[in-house]
Amino acid sequence: MIQRTLSTVRPILIDVVFQKGLALGSTLAAGSALFSRPAAAETSAVPSDGGVKTGSGPFAARAYGTANPKVGLALMPIERRPLGPKDVFLDILFCGVCHSDIHTARGEWPGTLYPSVPGHEIVGRVVAVGNQVTKFRVGDIGGVGCMVDSCGVCPQCLAGREQSCINGTTYTYNSPDRAFRGPTLGGYSDKVIVMESFVIRIPPGADLAATAPLLCAGVTTFSPMHHWKLESGQRVGIIGMGGLGHVAVKLAVARKAVNAD
């Protein structure tokens, strides 16, 4: 899990897989040496009172990312797009570590777009909303999973299956950004701006650190159980006990399955 403090972005828990997968360099280079973004004067700061207006920005942000597959993650400056009318601006509090983050950052899957900032299990506090947003207010907690946009007009999108968008889903990182220049940059960052329809409301009182992994590992394993209507007394088979597998066991137990084999 990666947690953001008030003054900096820092990892508080990096599992063994993450360390082995991304520690290709022994030290973190300065962010400016890895990836050059416009100077701070060309971007907007977030007002301390959250008074960001629609159309303002872009916004300077800090992130852990990599400029190529041969170096480890390092702190780097990035930009977040101007706030659109249907956008939600999140101050990131937690971001889970998914194994796909490692594969993408290291270029082990074809098509990694650099600079790469992974992270698609994001939980944050709303600091601003666009003037057409209806589901969120400043101070709410929102979550962002694997997707941040789609065409919105194809049959799949209109049926609520944006992950199968005929014109191409926009993923939280490593996708061409429909709304801003360059590739999408993920949640290993201190802030992010996402369209309201791709932000999930996190209820008050939720354990935010524990909630973050539910936005990828959780929904991936919940979906088949829900689709096939797993009920009390039924058996469920789970192959592998990694990040998804252990969440699947917990979900199966919560549904009172007899065994999670």
65 and 188 Cβ atoms separated by less than 8 Å? yes
Residues 230 and 191 in one domain: no
Same-domain check for residues 106 and 139:
yes
Q: What is the pLDDT of residue 181?
A: 86
Total count of domains within the chain: 2
Task: For residues 199 and 225, state if they share a domain.
Answer: no
Q: Is 210 part of any domain? A: no
Q: Range of 227's domain? A: 216-260
The pLDDT of residue 1 is 61
The DSSP code sequence of 161-172 is -GGG-TT--EES
Instruction: Based on the fold, state whether residues 147 and 222 are members of the same structural domain.
Output: no
Each residue's pLDDT tens digit in the chain (261 positions)?
A: 655 533 333 333 333 333 333 332 222 222 222 222 333 334 555 554 457 888 888 999 999 999 999 998 999 999 999 999 999 999 999 999 998 999 999 999 889 999 999 999 999 999 999 999 999 999 999 999 999 999 999 999 999 999 999 999 999 999 999 989 889 999 999 999 999 999 999 999 999 999 999 999 999 999 999 999 998 989 888 888 888 898 999 999 999 987 655
- Greatest Cα-to-Cα distance within the chain, rounded to the nearest angstrom: 61
For residues 169 and 243, membership in a common domain is answered with no
* Residue 129: closest CA among 142, 146, 119: 142
Q: Which pLDDT does position 103 carry in this prediction?
A: 94
Residue 167 sits in the same domain as residue 243: no
142 in the same domain as 59: yes
For residue 136, give the CATH number of its domain. Answer: 3.90.180.10
